Amino acid sequence: MLNKVKKGIMVLGIAVLTGMSMSAHAEDEATAGKFSYGEVKTVAAGEIVISEYNYDDDQMVEAAYTINAETKINNFASVEEIKAGDEVEIEYAEVEGKKAALAISKAEEYEEGEEGAAAPASEGEAQEAVVESAPAVEAPAEVPAEAPVEAPVK
């Protein structure tokens, strides 16, 4: 009888722990940071609206994100410095059906020759670069005549 009670308590304990961990996991997913990027359309008190690409609908849409005191502002002195036309990256979380900005950063711009950037080249420049990088090959002065091939004897 004592073994059955111990077993029951153990099973109940495992069930409670499993339920708690699943609940915590679901909460983490709900508050986990998601990312978006796009061009700023408007910035007002407590909100930023950007034009972003909606992959589900395959079109550009305007999306609003709430800004609060906890929103981190990176690569801008303040929210007031962000203006229409700026390219931004936003880390956000869905809270009560709204997109709450966790962090707003100026989108990185790559200069020519910088790592991660493709330097544009015209067709002539690209061909010239290939020719310059190819090793020089010299033809032999005289091409020897091929020796006749003999058939194997069986």
Which class would CATH give 32-109?
A: mainly beta
| pLDDT above 80: residue 15 | no
Q: How far apart are CA 28 and CA 43, in angstroms?
A: 29
Residue bearing the bigger pLDDT, 108 or 18: 108
**pLDDT reported for residue 119:** 47
Q: How far apart are CA 80 and CA 43, in angstroms?
A: 8
pTM tops 0.75, yes or no = no
Q: How far apart are CA 140 and CA 2, in angstroms?
A: 96
Average pLDDT over residues 24-52: 82
Average pLDDT, the chain: 76
Q: How far apart are CA 22 and CA 24, in angstroms?
A: 5
**pLDDT reported for residue 3:** 72
Q: Domain limits of the chain?
A: 32-109
- The 10 Å Cβ neighbour count of residue 107 is 13
